[in-house]
Each structure stands twice: as structure tokens, then as C-alpha cells.
């Protein structure tokens, strides 16, 4: 049986991870889709919890074996993807699945599951604010920082292709409340239909 998909995308530093974590706390039937990535593990991240960390070779091998529902080379040489088995496992457990994913991956999931998914774009106030947030987060080396800012500029052009846009400006509580309401209504649809 297929469950629902809550697809959350937006540039690095837009606040989407905070929003996804919050939604997981509010709606117990939601489960996080753990992606695979070939990027380096950050401090505090756990393999099998935040991501399944793979080498580029392992990742490519899994692409060739058709194990991904979707995958993208989000940054040059760095791959991210959703395992088919991850989503199937959660649906079998009667959960709905929430994704923190890049804009192209989000578009693909929406295309595969148009009726049972909601795609939400998290819109940051500006590229300058994004850059400040990313700097504060201190997770990136200067090279990767630049990569993320360039990617963010590209990602912003995808906003209008999403079902919904949430503006995450200066009031995080208001943003979280808006996300709660949106996702709550979407998940409700299921019990009513």
C-alpha cells in the first residue's frame, strides 16, 4: 500500500531541515526518508540516521543496479539519492514519508506520485541572508560554501513549480505554524478519502 509524500525542498540554509524536524515532531505518522549521499559526514551526523553515507563508487554501483527511486549529482562529484526500499519500507509500516531533498529530486518525486504528494518550497528572504546563515552554520569549507551559494541561486528559480511556497523570513515560529497547518491539512485528506 502506498502512503503519502511530503516533499520539502529549498536552498541550503533556507531552514528546511529545521522545518522537517519540526513536522516530524508534530505528526507521528510521518517518517523521514533517509537518503544516501557520497558527501563527507559532518560532525554529529550518524550513518543510517541522517544519511546512508557511501563512497562515490558505491553510489554509482547502486545507480547501475537501479536501487534509487531518484538520484541527483547535487554538487559536482557529490551524489544524493532516495532508495526505493527506503520508501517501500516506510509505506509498509503504514507511515507517510517526508523528504528533505533538492529541487530536481523534488520535481521527480512529484512526477512519479502526483496525487499522493505535496511539494513545498522553502523560500529564504534573500541570497545575502542565505549566505549569512550558511556562514554562521560553519559546516562548509570556502570552496563548498561558494558551491552552495551558486546552487541556491539556481534553486530559487524553481519555486513556482512547487505546489506550495513557504516564506521563511524572520519569524521562525510563524513559519513553523504555517508548515504545520499546510501539512496537517494534506495528511488529513487521506483519512477523509
Asked if 158 interacts with ligand 5GP (CB under 6 A), we say no
**Interacting residues of 187 by C-beta distance below 8 A, sequence separation 6+:** 4, 6, 27, 29, 30, 96
Q: 191's torsion region: left (phi>0), alpha (psi -120 to 50) or beta?
A: alpha
57: number of Cβ within 10 Å: 9
Asked if 80 interacts with ligand 5GP (CB under 6 A), we say yes
How far apart CA 5 and CA 114 sit, in angstroms, is 10
Kindly tell me which residue out of 101, 166, 183, 187 binds ligand 5GP, with binding defined by CB under 6 A: 101
Site string for ligand 5GP, 39-68 (x = CB under 6 A): x-----------------------------
Asked if 124 interacts with ligand 5GP (CB under 6 A), we say no
Name the residue nearer to ligand 5GP (CB basis): 39 or 189.
39
Among 193, 192, 189, 172, smallest CA distance to 18 is for 172
Asked if 117 interacts with ligand 5GP (CB under 6 A), we say no
- Residue showing the smallest CB distance to ligand 5GP in the complex: 105
Asked if 105 interacts with ligand 5GP (CB under 6 A), we say yes
Kindly tell me which residue out of 6, 12, 119, 130 binds ligand 5GP, with binding defined by CB under 6 A: 12
Asked if 81 interacts with ligand 5GP (CB under 6 A), we say yes
Residue 67, strand partner residues:
none
Asked if 149 interacts with ligand 5GP (CB under 6 A), we say no
Among 7, 6, 32, smallest CA distance to 190 is for 6
DSSP state of 5: E
Where does this chain bind ligand 5GP (CB under 6 A)?
A: 12, 35, 39, 70, 72, 74, 80-82, 100-102, 105
Amino acid at each position: 500500500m502506498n502512503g503519502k509524500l511530503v516533499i520539502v525542498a529549498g536552498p541550503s540554509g533556507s531552514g528546511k531541515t529545521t522545518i522537517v524536524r519540526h513536522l516530524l515532531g508534530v505528526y507521528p505518522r510521518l517518517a523521514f526518508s533517509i537518503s544516501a549521499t557520497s558527501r563527507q559526514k559532518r560532525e554529529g551526523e550518524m550513518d543510517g540516521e541522517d544519511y546512508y553515507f557511501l563512497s562515490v563508487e558505491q553510489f554509482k554501483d547502486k545507480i547501475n543496479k537501479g536501487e534509487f527511486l531518484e538520484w541527483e549529482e547535487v554538487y559536482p562529484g557529490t551524489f544524493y539519492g532516495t532508495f526505493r526500499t527506503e520508501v517501500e519500507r516506510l509505506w509498509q509500516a503504514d507511515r507517510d514519508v517526508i523528504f528533505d531533498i533538492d529541487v530536481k529530486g523534488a520535481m521527480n518525486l512529484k512526477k512519479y506520485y502526483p496525487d499522493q504528494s505535496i511539494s513545498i518550497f522553502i523560500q529564504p528572504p534573500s541570497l545575502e541572508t542565505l549566505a549569512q546563515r550558511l556562514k554562521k552554520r560553519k559546516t562548509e569549507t570556502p570552496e563548498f560554501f561558494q558551491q552552495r551559494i551558486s546552487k541556491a541561486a539556481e534553486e530559487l528559480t524553481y519555486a513556482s513549480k512547487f505546489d506550495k511556497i513557504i516564506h521563511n523570513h524572520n519569524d521562525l515560529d510563524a513559519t513553523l505554524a504555517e508548515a504545520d497547518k499546510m501539512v496537517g491539512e494534506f495528511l488529513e485528506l487521506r483519512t477523509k478519502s
